[in-house]
Amino acid sequence: MALLPLLSLLPLLASAQTPLTVVKYSSTPNGFTTPPRGFNSFGLQVNTGAQPNFSFNQSSILTQARALVANSPASLLADGDYYISLDSGWSVGCNGDQYGRIIDDTSKFDISDLAPELHSMGLKLGVYVVPGSFHDDGDKTIEGTSIAIRDTWDGHDNGLCRMDFDDAKDGVQQWHDSVVGLFADWGVDLIKFDYVTPGSPSPGSATLQPNTSGSVIAFHKAIEKVGRPIRLDISWKLERNDSFFDIWEANADSMRLDQDLNAQGGNKLVEWAVVQRAIENYRQFISTVIDDNHLPLTIHPDMDNAFIGNPESVTGVSDAERTTIATHWIAAGANLLSGSDFTNLDDLGKKLLTLPEAWVDVANFTAQYPMQPRNPGTGKNSPQQLQVWIAGPDGSGDAAVVLANYGPDQGQGNFNTSLEGTQNVTATWADLGLSGSYQVRNVWESVDLGTLDSQISAQLGEGESQLLRFQRAS
């Protein structure tokens, strides 16, 4: 049989493109429609060389909070939901109050004082917890009950100074109610619940139970009872099969997709190899959401802290790579908590953390429509070094598009190619699942690219990307 002329193949190639399924977020279980923004302390806690003057105490946290406010336009703070999130180490290690509730380490923090001070700045407070109740508190009774805390345990010491719960026992929900009630009294606005399983590997000498999802449900029920808006962010690298994803999505507002990104113990905050890994984990997450039809999506991804505010000498990645981190975290509709030192922002850092077009126009759009991968040439969603993504389009046909060159795979990107130097990245409308004409704008460069009707191309160096707004023209 004679080969068909090339032109006659074009309709067949177009029809082979993967159809676009638009992904949309709905309200989260605790009633939020956008992901949180702000600061999380963990990167500066464990990378002491990146900010030698930072100590994990109330004074340093307030210094970061004031710097965040000073470097952020008032309109942006008013428009967003900004948090100062304390990570591990804010609480007493192995015992609670008279009811076994988690309490602050008063040598470092006074949470009942910190919360209102942050609120007076227009900020909110997040705190960190792990599964179980303190093993030193077994003889104490749960607030409002005659139930001894030891009578709620399953007998397993998880190595985090805590005993695990038997979710079937009376008192387990009451204990969670009492803890969340105390947090609400203090003025806590976000709970980061770490080491949730299945997913989290056991850290060091800890031995996590294989399934602590019952406490995610219990925390959600407790939040519903207090009458105060509190976010629940669960962590880390959680199992995403249907059985457990359904639990996460029904009870939590955001879920960690990956392990910690920060380079612990060093003078720099992050390495590009782990950023490649974080992007790959998001690709897997959003692809699973589409393939398993978890739509609309009621939980936001937590890709860990966005290290974008400080110069390369502190952050550890190039300016182009910092911009790519900001682009992907925003376009994913992910948590936008930064681990950067807000007292040491450079000009690019300020731009990446505050540019209104990115943080209002695009971020508000992607808080409704998260990006998904569309491979150049096929529209498929497999991992690639040269990748395009689309968020939307919405009912008006508007969208956000990302073009990216992640550089050679450094071992965790899962695309397994090593194209060096500048590369051409092209997305056709067929790749993106679009049709018609669009006015296109480069967001970070604040440059209009004109009206385009078939494709968009960019020459991108290693680790470089573009964040583009697409507004329907016809």
Question: Of all residues in the chain, what percent carry a pLDDT higher than 90?
Answer: 91
Residue 339 lies in a domain: yes
What is the tens place of the pLDDT at every residue in 255-296?
A: 999 999 998 888 899 999 999 999 999 999 999 999 999 999
Give the C-alpha separation, 383 to 421, whole Å: 19
Contact 431, 387 (CB under 8 A): no
pLDDT for residue 266: 80
Give the tokens for residue 469: 């707004």
Give the C-alpha separation, 195 to 89, whole Å: 14
Give the C-alpha separation, 33 to 341, whole Å: 27
Give the C-alpha separation, 249 to 306, whole Å: 23
| Phi, psi angles (nearest 5°) of residue 233 | -110, 120
pLDDT for residue 242: 87
Among the listed residues 81, 164, 177, 194, the single catalytic one is 194
Residue 292 annotated to the active site: no
Largest CA distance in the chain: 86
pLDDT for residue 201: 80
Give the C-alpha separation, 333 to 252, whole Å: 15
Q: Look-up: residue for tokens 């975290």?
A: 329
Residue 6 lies in a domain: no
Number of domains in the chain: 1
Give the C-alpha separation, 303 to 283, whole Å: 11
What is the tens place of the pLDDT at every residue in 380-417?
A: 999 999 999 999 999 999 999 999 999 999 999 999 99
What is the tens place of the pLDDT at every residue in 418-439?
A: 999 999 999 999 999 999 999 9
Among the listed residues 260, 302, 341, 409, the single catalytic one is 260
Domain of residue 214, residue span = 25-370
Q: Which CATH number fits the domain that encloses residue 186?
A: 3.20.20.70
Residue 91 lies in a domain: yes
Residue 194 annotated to the active site: yes
Residue 18 lies in a domain: no
Residue 473 lies in a domain: no
pLDDT for residue 200: 86
Residue 88 lies in a domain: yes
Residue 314 lies in a domain: yes
What is the tens place of the pLDDT at every residue in 55-89?
A: 999 999 999 999 999 999 999 999 889 999 999 99
Q: Does residue 361 surpass a pLDDT of 70?
A: yes
Q: Which of 25, 27, 31 is nearest to 231 (CA)?
A: 31
pLDDT for residue 205: 73
Q: Does residue 157 surpass a pLDDT of 50?
A: yes
Q: At what angle do helices 272-291 and 319-331 cross, to 10 degrees?
A: 20
Residue 237 lies in a domain: yes
